[in-house]
Structure 1
Amino acid sequence: MAPEIVKSTLGNAAAPVVGASKNAYVTFLAGAGDYVKGVVGLVKGLRKVGAAFPLVVAILADVPVEHRRLLAEQGCILREIEPAFPCADADQNHTYVRKYFLLNYCKLRLWEFVEYERMIYMDADVQVFDNIDHLFELPSGYFYGVVDCVCEMSGDVCPQKLRWPQELGPQPPFYLNGGMFVFEPDLTTYHHLIHTLSITPPTPFAEQDFLNMFFREKMKVISPEYNLLVAMLWRHPEAVDVEKAKVVHYCVAGSKPWKFIGEEENMEREDMKMLVSMWWDIYNDASLDFNVAQRLTKGLPLSREVVVHYRSASSAA
C-alpha cells in the first residue's frame, strides 16, 4: 500500500518569525574532509531561497579550526557534539553498506538541541532550490521524511525489496531516507534514543535503519520533491519531476558537486550535469556570502556565535 503523503497547508509561504527563532535548519559535519564545501553550499542555498531560519551545524571535535572559521564567516551557528555509536561490543567494521555510515549515528545528538522547537535536518550533500520553510508548520508529534530508494547501493529493484534487518524488530510501514527529515528536539526522546542505541546492534544503513525502527509508529511521509535522491533519475524516472524538486540530494558516488568529474556511471547524464551546475551557481555566487549587514532571517540576524559544546552525562560512544 502506498504511503499517505502529508502536505503542508501553507504551500510555499515562509513561516512567520516573531522574536528569537524557535525553528532552525541543521546539518552534520565531521573531520577535515571536503564536506565543508557542501555545508557552505547549503547555507548559501538557504540564503538564496529566502529561508527564514538559520542553519545550525552540528560538528565533531575533529572539525579543524579553519573549517569552523569558514562556516562562522558564512553565518552558520556551530554546535559541537560528542560522537554516538551502537552498542560497544558490536563489530563496527564490516556491517555498513559504506564504512563512513558509522559516523551518521551522531545525528541522534540533534535531539539534544532543545533551544529549538522544530528543526529540519539535511545532509551536507543536499541543496535547496526552493523555500521549504512551510515544513516547520506541519502537525507536531511526528517524524517526517521522504521514502527512500536504495537501489543504487543494494541492487534491489525498488525500496520495497529492501531486506529489513530482523534484529530491529517489526518492519516499519515504509522506509524513509535519513538525509532529510523534520523533527522536534526533546530531551526525553534524546535519552531514549541514546539508550536504545546502546543496546542495538549496527545494521547496513546505520542511523537510517535505526531512525526508521525508532520512529516506526510516528513517521509520516512527505512528497519526494523535498528530497530528490539523484539515483531516482535513472532508477525510477517515472517518479521524478526535476523541475518541481525543492531539495536535491547528491547521494550517489560521483555526484558530489564539489568533486564532480562526470566520468562515473550515470554521471554523464544531462540532467545530472544540470543539477551539479545549479549547485555550483549557488556556491560561486558571491552575493550569497554572509554579511553582518545582511539578515538571513526575518527580523533576526544570523550571528556568528561562539561554539556551544554539548557534553552528555550518558553517552553511547
Structure 2
Amino acid sequence: MMLGSEMLQGLRPHTRPRSGQAFVTLVTNADYAMGALALARSIARTGTRADIVVLHTAGVRESDLAPLAALDCRLIEVEHLPLSDGFNERHAGGNLHAAAPFTKGRKPSFHTPLDNFCKLRLWQLIEYDTCVFIDADALVLRNVDRLFDYPEFSAAPNVYESLADFHRLNSGVFVAKPSLATFQDMLRQLDRPDVFWRRTDQTFLEAFFPDWHGLPIFMNMLQYVWFSMPALWNWNSVSILHYQYEKPWEENHPKAEQLRPLIDLWHSFHTGQDVPDIATLANPRAAA
C-alpha cells in the first residue's frame, strides 16, 4: 500500500488553501484557460467563500494562467496519472475517437481525451472536506454553495437530447470527498488489462460510483438542451450552464447560430463586462 506522502505525488500547489471547501476545475491548454477565466469570474460573482482551485498541466503557459492567479484562484500543477503504455495508446485522441466517435456534436481540435483523467487528482486534495468539480467550459449563474452538502458521489444526468439519458451521468459537474484511499482504489481499477473507458473519466466515474446520487439537471444544464429540449430550459432555475461539445470561444462553430444567446452570455462573463441579469433573459421558445 502506498504511503500518504507517495499518494500526494503529482501535485504542485502554488499557494495554501483558505477554506475547507473548493470549486475545482481543470486546465490543460490555452483554450481551457480562457474557459476557466469565465468560469472563475462567474463563481466569484456568486459571493461564495469556497476556494476556486485550478488544476493545470505543465503544458499550460504561465501567461495563460496569470489572469486566473489575478482572480485569486488557487493554482495547482498536476502530472498525468501513472498509466500503462497500453492504456495511454487506447485512450489517445485519434484511437479513442475512432473507437467511440462522437455522433451528436463535434469535439474541438484541442480536446485531448487523456487529459480528462487528471480530474481524478481531485481526490488527492485532502486539505478540503468537500470539492465541487466544474468543467472549464461552464458558467455558474447563481450561488450553488448548497452543493457542498450533497453526498459523494453526486452528478447530474447526461440529458441533452432526450429523457432516455437520465440513467447516464455527466462528469462536467460533480461533488466529491477527497480521500487518498479512494484515489488509490481508483488507480487500481482504472488501468486494467485491455480496459477501455469509452467517454474517459465520465465512463470510469459511472462505473466506480454505480450508486451515484443524482443532481438536478439545472446544476449541469447542457447547452444542447437549448434547441433539443427547449421546454426544459428555464433561466430562473439554471444554476450551472455547461457548453458541452462545441465551445463558446470557437469562431463560427457548426452550432453557433443555434446557440447564439448562450455564446453571447459566455463572452460577457469572459470579459467581465455587461453581464446581464439572468432573470431577464428570454427562454429558448421566446428567444426564437
TM-score, normalised to structure 2, is 0.77
The yes-or-no answer on 1:144 pairing with 2:154 is yes
Q: How does 1:132-281 map to 2 (within 5 A)?
A: 132-138=144-150, 140=151, 142-149=152-159, 159-160=164-165, 174-199=167-192, 201-217=195-211, 219-253=212-246, 256-261=247-252, 264-265=254-255, 267-269=256-258, 272-281=259-268
Listed one character per residue, the Cα deviations across residues 91-145 of structure 1 (whole Å, up to 9, x for unaligned) are 234124466222101111110000001011001100011100111122x4x2011
Q: By how many angstroms is 1:150 displaced?
A: 6.4
Task: Determine the structure 1 residue equivalent to 2:19.
Answer: 21
Q: By how many angstroms is 1:275 displaced?
A: 1.9
Q: Could you say what the CA RMSD is over the residues aligned between the two structures, in angstroms?
A: 2.4
3-state SS of paired residue (1:185): coil
- Kept in 1, the 8 Å contact 2:54–2:73? The answer is yes
Write the letter of the residue equivalent to 1:232: V
- Kept in 1, the 8 Å contact 2:132–2:176? The answer is yes
Task: Determine the structure 2 residue equivalent to 1:292.
Answer: none
Which structure has more relative contact order (CA 8 Å, sep 6+)? It is 1
- Kept in 2, the 8 Å contact 1:85–1:105? The answer is no
3-state SS of paired residue (1:27): strand
Task: Determine the structure 2 residue equivalent to 1:303.
Answer: none
Listed one character per residue, the Cα deviations across residues 148-173 of structure 1 (whole Å, up to 9, x for unaligned) are 0365xxxxx6654xxxxxxxxxxxx9
3-state SS of paired residue (2:167): coil
Q: How many residues align?
A: 243
Task: Determine the structure 2 residue equivalent to 1:95.
Answer: 96
**How far, CA to CA, are the matches of 1:103 and 1:239 in structure 2?**
32
Task: Determine the structure 1 residue equivalent to 2:282.
Answer: none
Task: Determine the structure 2 residue equivalent to 1:117.
Answer: 129
**How far, CA to CA, are the matches of 1:150 and 1:224 in structure 2?**
10
**How far, CA to CA, are the matches of 2:164 and 2:85 in structure 1?**
30
Task: Determine the structure 2 residue equivalent to 1:83.
Answer: 80
Listed one character per residue, the Cα deviations across residues 234-258 of structure 1 (whole Å, up to 9, x for unaligned) are 22233332442111001122xx222
Q: How does 1:49-64 map to 2 (within 5 A)?
A: 49-64=46-61
Q: Match for 2:39 among 38, 42, 48?
A: 42
**How far, CA to CA, are the matches of 2:189 and 2:28 in structure 1?**
23
**How far, CA to CA, are the matches of 2:23 and 2:167 in structure 1?**
24
Q: How does 1:284-299 map to 2 (within 5 A)?
A: 284-285=271-272
Write the letter of the residue equivalent to 1:279: W
3-state SS of paired residue (1:120): strand
Percent identical: 26
- Kept in 2, the 8 Å contact 1:230–1:251? The answer is yes
**How far, CA to CA, are the matches of 2:251 and 2:140 in structure 1?**
18
**How far, CA to CA, are the matches of 2:160 and 2:184 in structure 1?**
29
- Kept in 2, the 8 Å contact 1:85–1:106? The answer is no
CA 1:60–1:159 in 2, change beyond 3 Å: closer, same or farther? farther
- Kept in 2, the 8 Å contact 1:85–1:198? The answer is no
CA 1:195–1:242 in 2, change beyond 3 Å: closer, same or farther? same
CA 1:249–1:260 in 2, change beyond 3 Å: closer, same or farther? farther
Gaps of 5+ in 1: 1-18, 152-156, 161-172, 289-317
- Kept in 1, the 8 Å contact 2:160–2:223? The answer is no
Write the letter of the residue equivalent to 1:59: H
CA 1:85–1:228 in 2, change beyond 3 Å: closer, same or farther? farther
Q: By how many angstroms is 1:187 displaced?
A: 0.6
**How far, CA to CA, are the matches of 1:105 and 1:125 in structure 2?**
16
**How far, CA to CA, are the matches of 2:225 and 2:216 in structure 1?**
14
Compare the two structures and name the one with the higher helix fraction: 2
Task: Determine the structure 2 residue equivalent to 1:314.
Answer: none
Write the letter of the residue equivalent to 1:146: A
Greater shift in the superposed pair: 238-247 or 191-200:
238-247
TM-score, normalised to structure 1, is 0.70
The yes-or-no answer on 1:282 pairing with 2:269 is yes
Task: Determine the structure 2 residue equivalent to 1:71.
Answer: 68
